[in-house]
Amino acid sequence: MSKRGWPFLLGGLLVALLLAGVVSNYASSHPDGLDSSLLKGCTVNADDEITGGTCPAQQAKDHELADSPLADYGVRGIGNDFLSTGLSGVLGVLLTFAFGAGLFWLARRRTPTGAAATGAGAPPPTGDR
Amino acid sequence: MHISNGIIDGPVAAIFAAFALAALAFCVLRGRADLDDRLAPMAGLVAAFIFAVQMLNFPIFTAGVSGHLLGGALAALLVGPWVGALCVAVVLVVQALVFGDGGVAMLGLNITNMAILGTAAAYLLIALLLRVLPRTPAGLAVTAFVSALVSVVVASQGFVLQYWLGGTTDLGGNLGGLAGTMAVAHLLIGIGEGLITATTVVTVAKVRPDLVYALRALKPAVPAPAVPVAGGVR
Statement: residue A38 has pLDDT above 70: yes
Give the distance from CA A23 to its chain's centroid: 13
| Residue B2, domain member (yes or no) | no
Domain count, chain B: 1
Please judge whether B4 and A100 are an interchain contact, meaning their C-beta atoms are less than 8 angstroms apart.
Answer: no
| Residue B224, domain member (yes or no) | no
What confidence score (pLDDT) does residue A87 get?
Answer: 97
| Residue B141, domain member (yes or no) | yes
Residues B161-166, mean pLDDT to the nearest whole number: 97
Average pLDDT, chain B: 93
Range of the domain at B23: 10-217
Task: Please report which confidence band the pLDDT of residue B231 belongs to, taking 50, 70 and 90 as the band edges.
Answer: low
What confidence score (pLDDT) does residue A46 get?
Answer: 86
Of the candidates A16, A36, A71, the beta carbon closest to that of B52 is on A16
Task: Please report which confidence band the pLDDT of residue B119 belongs to, taking 50, 70 and 90 as the band edges.
Answer: very high
CA nearest to B74, candidates B31, B126, B38: B126
Please give, rounded to a whole number of angstroms, the shortest distance from the CA of B53 to a CA of chain A. 7
Separation of alpha carbons B168 and B189, rounded Å: 25
Residues A49-67, mean pLDDT to the nearest whole number: 93
CB A39 within 8 A of CB A53: no
| Residue B5, domain member (yes or no) | no
CA nearest to A13, candidates A73, A98, A72: A98
What confidence score (pLDDT) does residue B213 get?
Answer: 96
What confidence score (pLDDT) does residue B64 get?
Answer: 85
pLDDT tens across A101-114, in order? Answer: 999 999 999 876 54
| Residue B225, domain member (yes or no) | no
CB B28 within 8 A of CB B80: no
> Does residue A82 come out as left (phi exceeding 0), alpha (psi in the -120 to 50 range) or beta?
alpha
CATH number at residue B69: 1.10.1760.20
Give yes or no for A10 touching B (CB within 8 A): no
Please judge whether A99 and B94 are an interchain contact, meaning their C-beta atoms are less than 8 angstroms apart.
Answer: yes
| Residue B55, domain member (yes or no) | yes
Residues B11-30, mean pLDDT to the nearest whole number: 98
Please give, rounded to a whole number of angstroms, the shortest distance from the CA of B142 to a CA of chain A. 23
Statement: residue B222 has pLDDT above 70: no
Please give, rounded to a whole number of angstroms, the shortest distance from the CA of A97 to a CA of chain B. 5
> What percentage of chain B carries pLDDT values higher than 90?
88
| Residue B223, domain member (yes or no) | no
Please judge whether A96 and B48 are an interchain contact, meaning their C-beta atoms are less than 8 angstroms apart.
Answer: yes
Please judge whether A19 and B55 are an interchain contact, meaning their C-beta atoms are less than 8 angstroms apart.
Answer: yes
What confidence score (pLDDT) does residue A113 get?
Answer: 53
| Residue B51, domain member (yes or no) | yes
Please judge whether B37 and A59 are an interchain contact, meaning their C-beta atoms are less than 8 angstroms apart.
Answer: no
Q: How far apart are the first and last CA of chain B?
A: 34
Which CA distances in Å does A2 have to A124, B54, B208?
Answer: 11, 29, 12
Query: What are φ and ψ of residue B64, in 5° steps?
Result: -85, 55
Separation of alpha carbons B88 and B53, rounded Å: 12
Separation of alpha carbons B65 and B61, rounded Å: 7
